[in-house]
């Protein structure tokens, strides 16, 4: 008979803080996996637990979305891209205007 495993309960606040820390560290470290490992060591849980929390916070992956959800996601991304392109155009115009006036 296998021994009963005891899992440490982690509060939702700690999980959220861990996810935020992984996101912040991912750009500074070599990979998201390394960030998960670092954060997991800090709070005393397995790195896979932290990785699962990050995945859950990201929402469903594209492979698990239905067609309607994918269309909504694409529409949202197109809106964000258009807004970013407009912001970029404005920044370029501002930069060009500044360079002309100096």
Q: Check residue 68 and give its pLDDT.
A: 86
Domain extent at residue 77: 63-102
- Length of the chain in residues, anyone? 102
Q: How far apart, in whole angstroms, are the C-alpha atoms of residue 45 and residue 8?
A: 8
Structure confidence by residue, pLDDT tens digits, 15-38: 999 999 999 998 898 899 999 999
Burial of 79 (C-beta count, 10 Å sphere; 0-12/13-18/19+): exposed
* The pTM of the whole model exceeds 0.75: no
Same domain for 15 and 27: yes
Same domain for 84 and 39: no
Same domain for 53 and 16: yes
Q: If you search the block for the tokens 């930069």, which residue do you land on?
A: 95
Total structural domains within the chain = 2
pLDDT per position in the chain (102 positions), as tens?
555 555 668 899 999 999 999 999 988 988 999 999 999 999 999 999 999 999 889 877 777 778 888 898 899 999 999 999 999 999 999 999 988 887
């Amino acid at each position: 008979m296998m021994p009963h495993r005891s899992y440490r309960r982690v509060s939702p606040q700690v999980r959220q803080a861990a996810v935020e820390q992984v996101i912040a560290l991912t750009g500074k470290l070599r990979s998201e996996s390394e960030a998960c490992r670092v954060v997991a060591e800090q709070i005393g849980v397995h790195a896979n637990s932290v990785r699962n929390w990050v995945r859950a916070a990201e929402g469903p992956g594209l492979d698990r979305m239905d067609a309607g959800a994918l269309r909504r996601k694409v529409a949202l991304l197109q809106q964000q891209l258009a807004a970013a392109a407009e912001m970029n155009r404005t920044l370029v115009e501002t930069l060009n205007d500044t360079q002309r006036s100096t």
